[in-house]
Chains A and B, each alone.
Chain A
């Protein structure tokens, strides 16, 4: 028996259903706010106001979104190959070296745009190398990437603590971080871009990495949907047996996809290190690698979905900070609950409302002839 899901128009599939899921997630989150004894309406107002109500808020929202675009793309590319890379966190962390080391080396001798190019290569290379080992183990040894990438997150964490405490920390400093980069290691902010639009991003750290994220999204789309390699990735993801039938080199595709995924996660490190702090700190990734999983799920693993999903999570981060500031009963953990609900409804239970929505649209388009081709066997 084929699944009783009928085909829906694209805009319903990719537009209406995610929005319905999201609304339900927020309604349930509102109930939680109510339980804590606060007004969900005021919380919602604070959330939107904090994220989009003023220039600096928008700046912060997009700054967080930049991180999530990179990590979301990383997870999505691996998804297309049927791989679940949950090591974005570790890959981005290690890729911090690919950002910090060139900055420390070149910041006083080179202009920022030269360092930027080096850093793009450096971060993606480090991320790719950190994902190469789990990818290779999966392809050649059958060790599941879910397990190996999680373990590599821990290894990355320990490695970076060691490097930041014992190697990269300037002599005499008490905090585990590199020295602050001078001009050559600082990316320009985007006030020149948003200023003319009437948005004053103020003190927010929104920087050039945001544009890099948009360009990379387009490149990911090109690679996955418009190249032979992308075709092979998607064939592998949908049907490994069809890939074998077609004579594709499975092991090679798995390794290369994991490297591409790692490279994307790695580029995330540019944003906080070269864009905001101008130094590498302990735990600068801050969970963005995991949020990327939710972003990829919500964005249906397509750049066009990932960008809005990343902005949504950016909004939750930024607006959530405002809520916890204004409503002391609601801690930052509340935001984690909302995120969890979004993941639950948009990811794990994304088909929950599909039958009802399908029935509704069938009812609307009642005159249309059913397709006998899709009838059950």
Chain B
């Protein structure tokens, strides 16, 4: 027995001409928490998919407990004691916790005996690891934090000694994330080995023992967490020095440019998602909306942008009212100076199969500047797109490239360039840096601050609390469709976290 739980030797994997992993070596020590960090597209998920058997490596060996192992599929990985908690949970939503945990391990056609055994085993696991969850609860009725716990239990139930967690905190509140980390620490004490994939430096520093950094498909460094710093890791990830904080001066708020009064919005199933929300955004300030994903922020943005019909309420743009309860017209709003950087750039902000130039006119395709008599003026559109590419440093510089072939950060820059270069008076931005690499985050944040300093009114929604605190001049917290509190961005993360978790305004302040 060695003290290395998993060793990867010379792992190499290509998808066509894309070299996703090149010659990766990695040693994960038993009973430790090993972080793997890297930008989007660095190859972290590919590497873990190889370890879990989703993909086969083109070259290289996987050693589990010092023995060379051919992992040809997830079932082999499970048999070797490797469990995985996916970023997007693999749970059957209308099954109970117990049914989900048994799924694929039912032990025969008649379920009764299996259920009894599973229930007993689940109880033992819960006690051993202090992972409490009601076995008869229906998954979709559980909060995400508990759903994740079910995923972890599922892996443990299958006898996992090595747990891989892929971006586990993306959907959690800070408090839930803290709780998860306590669970992981406990699992480590019980002798489990944990591999944590993330792009959040803070998490790495908080919980891991060792950290490996990936960049462009290569493993560039492995450090003991205690001997490294956030700055060093960021530099390793990006390959150059990065400014982590955002520098910004004091805001000079002017007139109210966007005002929302008593807005109520239902989602497509008729469930109220935004409940009686009122807010104002002034020229020259950034108002951030903090909150855990799914608490109505998306619907709020969409209603303001005229994409989703509001049930009641009023919205005024530069002082004049906007139709939000009837047939709203996003196009008219654009002409009235509202720019919208949508949360979901893949489905809304961009048409991925379009060329970059085609996307650079989305929503502005009726601008006479892009037309030559009856036809689109392709030359003008491309020239315009290349200018934007130049100013926003969109790479590669090829306006005829299909948008899907740009990285997340560059795709986001295409959207930002289109929306911001129009000199709007109000900008609403959803998740400006989701799936965007560290280098581009810096650029995007700077642009947003520049826009504020140029006197634009900016409403910012992000699930990254750090981002909200770094950019905003005022922070509103949304929970369950309501604005539950307003704070200054200097407010402690703990207090904001409590508000995001639904603790009342006064309790949170105490």
Contacts and interface: CB of A to CB of B under 8 A. Distances in A.
Q: Are the chains A and B members of one assembly?
A: yes
A242 B349 contact: yes
Interface stretch (A96-104, A136-144, A243-251, A275-283): A243-251
B181 interface: no
B309 to A, nearest CB: 11
A302 B490 CA distance: 56
A372 B17 CA distance: 10
B18 A247 contact: no
Interface residues of B, number: 56
Interface string A353-377: 0000011001001001011111111
Nearest to A369: B17
A318 to B, nearest CB: 36
B14 A239 contact: no
A49 to B, nearest CB: 41
A241 interface: yes
A232 B362 CA distance: 9
The winner among B16, B41, B305, B365 for most chain A CB atoms within 10 A is B16
Given A245-B349, A245-B363, A247-B363, A377 B15 contact: no
Contacts of A248: 331
Given A228-B366, A234-B354, A241 B347 contact: yes
B406 A373 contact: yes
Nearest to B14: A370
Interface in A221-251: 222, 226-228, 231-232, 234-235, 238-239, 241-242, 244-248
Interface in B327-372: 329-334, 340, 342, 344, 347-354, 358, 361-363, 365-366, 371
Nearest to B43: A375
B307 interface: yes
Given A231-B376, A246-B330, A371 B18 contact: yes
Interface stretch (A4-12, A38-46, A201-209, A263-271): A4-12
A1 interface: yes
A372 B216 contact: yes
B306 interface: yes
Contacts of B18: 4, 6, 370-372, 374-376
A377 B16 contact: no
Contact of B371 (A228, A239, A242, A358): A228
Interface string A63-107: 000000000000000000000000000000000000000000000
A374 B43 CA distance: 11
Nearest to B332: A247
Given A226-B375, A226-B376, A242-B348, A232 B16 contact: no
Interface in A319-377: 358-359, 362, 365, 368, 370-377
Interface in A299-314: none
Contacts of B407: 372-373
Contacts of B361: 231
Contact of A371 (B17, B348, B351): B17
A375 B362 contact: no
A215 B147 CA distance: 60
Given A228-B376, A377-B40, A246 B15 contact: no
Contact of B17 (A228, A232, A370, A377): A370
Contact of A231 (B19, B216, B358, B405): B358
A246 B348 CA distance: 8
B331 A246 contact: yes
A356 B371 CA distance: 42
B15 A4 contact: yes
B353 A238 contact: yes
Contacts, number: 131
B193 interface: no
Interface in B1-46: 14-20, 40-43, 45-46
A130 B201 CA distance: 61
A373 B365 contact: no
Given A6-B15, A6-B17, A228-B371, A377 B351 contact: no
A368 to B, nearest CB: 6
B396 interface: yes
Nearest to B370: A228
B435 A377 contact: yes
Contacts of A226: 375-376, 378
A357 to B, nearest CB: 10
A371 B405 contact: yes
B375 A222 contact: yes
Contacts of A2: 15
B217 interface: yes
Nearest to B435: A377
Interface centre among A6, A242, A248 (most CB of B within 10 A): A242
B110 interface: no
Among B20, B350, B371, chain A packs the most CB atoms within 10 A around the CB of B20
B41 A373 contact: yes
Nearest to B334: A247
Nearest to A244: B307
A362 B18 CA distance: 10
A292 to B, nearest CB: 23
A7 B406 CA distance: 12
Contacts of B46: 1, 375-376
14 contacts: A6-B16, A222-B375, A231-B361, A235-B354, A235-B362, A238-B351, A241-B347, A241-B348, A242-B349, A242-B362, A244-B348, A245-B330, A372-B41, A376-B41
Interface of A: 1-2, 4-7, 222, 226-228, 231-232, 234-235, 238-239, 241-242, 244-248, 358-359, 362, 365, 368, 370-377
Given A242-B351, A245-B342, 14 more contacts: A6-B18, A227-B376, A245-B330, A246-B331, A246-B365, A362-B17, A371-B18, A373-B396, A374-B405, A375-B18, A375-B19, A375-B41, A375-B46, A376-B43
Interface of B: 14-20, 40-43, 45-46, 49, 216-217, 305-307, 329-334, 340, 342, 344, 347-354, 358, 361-363, 365-366, 371, 374-376, 378, 395-396, 402, 405-408, 410, 435
Ordered nearest first, which 9 A-B pairs have the shortest CB separation? A6-B16, A247-B331, A247-B330, A4-B15, A246-B363, A245-B348, A375-B41, A373-B407, A370-B19
